[in-house]
Structure 1
Amino acid sequence: MSGEAAAGTVPAQVNLPGEITLREYGDALSVPLDAAIGRSLVASGFLDSAAPDPERPGHWRLRAGSQVGAVRLPGGTVLRISPKTPVGRLFFLLGFSLDPADAWRDSREGTINTGAHDDVLPALAYAVERQIDGALRQGVLQGYRETAESALVVRGRLREAEQIRRHFGRTPPVEIVYDAYTADTAENRILRAAVERLLRLPSVPGPVRRRLAHQRIRLADAAPLVRGQELPLWQPSRLNSRYQPALRLAEAVLRGTSPEHRTGPLALDGFLLDMNQLFEDFVTVALREALKEHGLTARLQDVHTLDLGGQVRMKPDLVVYGADGRTPVAVVDAKYKTEKSHRSHGYPNADLYQALAYATVLGLREAHLVYAAGRLPERATDVRGTGGLRLLQHSLDLTSEPAALLRTFRTLSARLAGLTD
């Protein structure tokens, strides 16, 4: 291959398909692909595997892992990864993880409206646009923001140090600082950035794209965010309550996995959701909410150490503490495993070893593992030589109705609270 091809040009002899569709943890697919693009996919790491097809020159075998969504490859090809979980249910998991209050109260199919779209990125773009439209229905939120500038007249407060440093002994301009009532707030900046992010992505339907462009115009007074910088901070309040659902979803868009930031020989642009992380977030948030009914505190990703020297760190997904807030009473780890792998191999032994370490360090008689494993029965493992330590493996069927899913967590929370066996 020439140096130019390695640098990013797609050779004319490679006939790239317009679209490549993979399924989460599905079978590998052999597709015509330029070697530079293939190497970029390997470097990006969002596929389970990507390698040249030994039986078909000019083809690569691609297999998706836990990340779902769409990516635009150089040359215009769109790589789409569809989830095993129905899109409507996937967005219920996402909406609950972002803000469990509404979903926990009435178990609606989704606090996030995805319209009739059955693919991740179109559904996401539709949902964000609808949420932003609802947030702006009463007008663009304005607020006070401290502004510093050079001016010909004094307004607000004089910045004495800056005035002396920059204009010592001179008449205006003067260095001033004042509170400006403006639409250039953290909330509007985040919404505008999410809109602009989605407008750059592939697979956004035309009608949704046009509505997103309209929302960008409505948010034009908010300054654009600089790529790579941290998102501006905002605080939930009565004044921005109508913005909050849109803000949480917008932040999920901006903080989600973005292949454009990964290293590799070529730039890739797209948006992906990691089902591993989404499942873990959903399980831990749902259990945390359910445990409140029992007066227990649950902490997510609480750091503990395996060794006495404190060198080996471990972070269980969720540790439940008693009424004093200090004594561990239960530990839970969420494992997003495909139902197919469980049917052929059963629950993985390595997960049991991990759960055993958690229970041992925390001084517990039980540890719990929760899997996205369909309808597999609960399994209990009594550990030899421990005087009765038990490891319990539970399965969660993500195709169940939301109300049924939440009932499962109420049952499990009662078990963690020691109210049932």
Structure 2
Amino acid sequence: MLAPVELTEGAGWQRRKLSPGQADALDASEVAQVRQRRADGTCEVKDNALVGTVRLGSGEDTFEVRIRPKVTIRRLLFLLGYAQDRGRWFEDEVQAAEEPDLLPAVAAAFARTASRALAHGVPRGYRQVDAALPVLRGRLRESAQLRQRSGVMFPLEVRYDERTVDTAENRLLLAATRSLLALAGVAPATAQELRRIAAALDGVAEPAHGPVKPPDWVPTRVNAPYHAALRLAETVLRSSSFEREDGETLRVDGFVVKMWEVFEDFVTHAVDEVLTRRGGEVRLQDRTHHLDEDRTLEMCPDLVLYRPEGPGGRMIPAVVLDAKYRLAIRQGARAHVYHQMIAYCARLGARQGRLVYAGSERADGQPGGRGDVIRSRIGGPAPIELVTYVLDLRLPLAELRARIERIADDMVTPSV
């Protein structure tokens, strides 16, 4: 296997020595961008806001791409878990600081969490079974009996509920376990723990070969001890593929996390949590609105805050929020983001728009800037206030939480 290609997320174009096969495989995968190939075998490579470990190529040309996140592994695991466990403003004792890469850290966290959950016992549930039996069990399926056994007394067509370990929750845990065991880069001690988990799930249907869609499950009071493990399992399975620019879903041999999705989920759920405590009505990924009257151009703002208006207290859109992991540096590209927000606000009748993007840049010196906030006023018969926030994900958690609270409070208090 060829030497690994190591990159750092957000570090811009980085010069690396790659073989022609490596450069072609990397460029085609869209895991990273490749440009300026030179005769000496070097080229410039830049991440695509994906982090993790991916194995590309085949045979002797196989190589790994390792992309480290800008934030610490511990912080990334916190961000991954927050949207699924709202209000959880603390970082686990995952010992992730000792893990050099994301894959071994996630594998260790999943193994530890799943083992802790299964210590309560393997969860069981009921499934409906239709069968032909020599004795009555459950209830008789009369129509099936008449249709298939007309004139014959036995066997009986019956339907009954069977208590089993082959539940959606256990299939999810087993699929994530098998997925991690198939990956290189998982520490031996973690792999041993994963094998113990697989053994404990004996009797659960094995996942199909190829891409595995996480089985649907419903959080309940009964399966509450397993929620953390189940949500980590969903992360593991969803991180084995990503959607390319052409819309095709690419299955990868490795573990990749889409940072723009992590950021969007964290911001929207954290702000939603604060607004809900304040008594606001919030809709996430609201797809009920369209730009055109024929309802062919769907809008999907990340978060919309509704307020009551008029004597009847009808709820109307008041503030629209969008989270952008990267706000373009070029003015033209950045203007496109603002145009989109203005279109959202104008179509919904909202007077306020909020953009939140990840970064550590200070907005001092920008028009309307105050620290990490930029305020812009769009004139017209119904003026719109656009506020852009810079959110540094590397801040101490207490300060990060305070920034989220400030964004939410600013949405609750109208300023136009």
Q: Same fold (TM over 0.5)?
A: yes
Aligned residue in 1 for 2:386: 391
Give matches, 1:9-408, under 5 Å: 17-26=2-11, 27-33=13-19, 35=21, 38-47=23-32, 49-50=33-34, 53-56=37-40, 61-73=44-56, 74-75=58-59, 76-101=62-87, 103=88, 107-110=89-92, 114=96, 116-163=98-145, 172-226=154-208, 227-228=210-211, 230-258=213-241, 268-303=252-287, 304-323=289-308, 326-337=315-326, 348-376=334-362, 377-385=372-380, 388-408=383-403
Give unmatched runs, 5+ long, in structure 1. Answer: 1-15
Aligned residue in 2 for 1:11: none
Per the alignment, in what secondary structure is the counterpart of residue 83 of structure 2?
helix
Per the alignment, in what secondary structure is the counterpart of residue 222 of structure 2?
coil
Aligned-partner residue type, residue 418 of structure 1: T
Do the aligned partners of 2:357 and 2:391 also contact (CA within 8 Å) in 1? yes
User: Which consecutive segments of 4 or more residues in structure 1 shift more than 6 A?
Assistant: 260-264, 344-347
* Count of aligned positions: 395
Per the alignment, in what secondary structure is the counterpart of residue 69 of structure 1?
strand
For residues 257 and 222 of structure 1, the distance between their equivalents in structure 2, rounded to whole angstroms, comes to 21
For residues 118 and 229 of structure 1, the distance between their equivalents in structure 2, rounded to whole angstroms, comes to 27
Per the alignment, in what secondary structure is the counterpart of residue 370 of structure 1?
strand
Do the aligned partners of 1:299 and 1:319 also contact (CA within 8 Å) in 2? yes
Deviation by residue 1:194-224 (Cα, 9 ceiling, x = unmatched): 1111111221111111111111111122112
In percent, how many aligned pairs have the same letter? 35
Per the alignment, in what secondary structure is the counterpart of residue 310 of structure 1?
coil
> Are residues 175 and 31 of structure 1, via their aligned partners in 2, closer, same or farther at CA, if it must alter by over 3 Å?
farther
Deviation by residue 1:88-124 (Cα, 9 ceiling, x = unmatched): 11111111111113x1xxx312486747324211111
Per the alignment, in what secondary structure is the counterpart of residue 411 of structure 1?
helix
Across the aligned residues of Structure 1 and Structure 2, the Cα RMSD in angstroms comes to 3.1
Deviation by residue 1:294-346 (Cα, 9 ceiling, x = unmatched): 210111111222233333222111110125573111111111127xx75x979
Do the aligned partners of 1:284 and 1:318 also contact (CA within 8 Å) in 2? yes
Aligned-partner residue type, residue 331 of structure 1: V
For residues 135 and 110 of structure 1, the distance between their equivalents in structure 2, rounded to whole angstroms, comes to 15
Do the aligned partners of 1:109 and 1:401 also contact (CA within 8 Å) in 2? no
Do the aligned partners of 2:128 and 2:160 also contact (CA within 8 Å) in 1? yes
Aligned-partner residue type, residue 291 of structure 2: L
Q: If the length of structure 1 is used for normalisation, what is the TM-score?
A: 0.84
For residues 405 and 145 of structure 2, the distance between their equivalents in structure 1, rounded to whole angstroms, comes to 62
For residues 135 and 293 of structure 1, the distance between their equivalents in structure 2, rounded to whole angstroms, comes to 30
Per the alignment, in what secondary structure is the counterpart of residue 327 of structure 1?
strand
Shift of 1:44: 3.3
For residues 111 and 147 of structure 1, the distance between their equivalents in structure 2, rounded to whole angstroms, comes to 43
Deviation by residue 1:358-417 (Cα, 9 ceiling, x = unmatched): 221122222111110214231112224456422111110111112211111111111111
Aligned-partner residue type, residue 21 of structure 1: E
Q: If the length of structure 2 is used for normalisation, what is the TM-score?
A: 0.85
> Are residues 259 and 108 of structure 1, via their aligned partners in 2, closer, same or farther at CA, if it must alter by over 3 Å?
closer
Give unmatched runs, 5+ long, in structure 2. Answer: 363-371
For residues 21 and 371 of structure 1, the distance between their equivalents in structure 2, rounded to whole angstroms, comes to 26
* Bigger RCO (CA 8 Å, 6+ sep): 1
